[in-house]
Amino acid sequence: MVRAIVVLGIGVCAGIAITAGAQDVRTVWDGVYTEAQAKRGEALYFERCVRCHGPMLQGGTDGAGPLTGPTFNGNWNGVPLDQMLDRVRATMPQDKPATLSRQQTADALAFIFSANKIPAGKAELPRQAEMLTLIQFKSSK
């Protein structure tokens, strides 16, 4: 009888751990940036990104892709934000890749999320990879 309880107890604990881990993952729809951060990102966008991605974030004639709409959403859907931030930081701006700090890149992403009508929250989008790993980009709720 005691043996059955111990096995059951281990199974229950394992189930709780799996459930808790699944609950830790959030999406961009959970309010992962602030309006103030998006405003900083907007200023940065119009300083460093607009030339290639355009004033309406729809891409430019030099091959820069859109930052809103179905193509953007399809490219990033399901991707953890640490991968998104690292890729953007390493490859942008096209004329001077890897010149934005992690904070600047997080701010730019906050602006892009805002432009995609993803709601702001009460905490800023973090710049640390270990925190961004727990947030996924989802194209819709």
Give pLDDT, residue 61.
72
CB 41 within 8 A of CB 108: yes
Give pLDDT, residue 78.
97
Give pLDDT, residue 24.
78
Give pLDDT, residue 23.
53
> Cα–Cα distances in Å, from 46 out to 15, 27, 51?
48, 26, 8
Given a cut of 50, the residues of the chain with pLDDT beneath it are: 1-21
Give pLDDT, residue 62.
77
- The verdict on pTM exceeding 0.95 is no
Give pLDDT, residue 39.
98
Give pLDDT, residue 2.
45
Give pLDDT, residue 8.
37
Give pLDDT, residue 111.
98
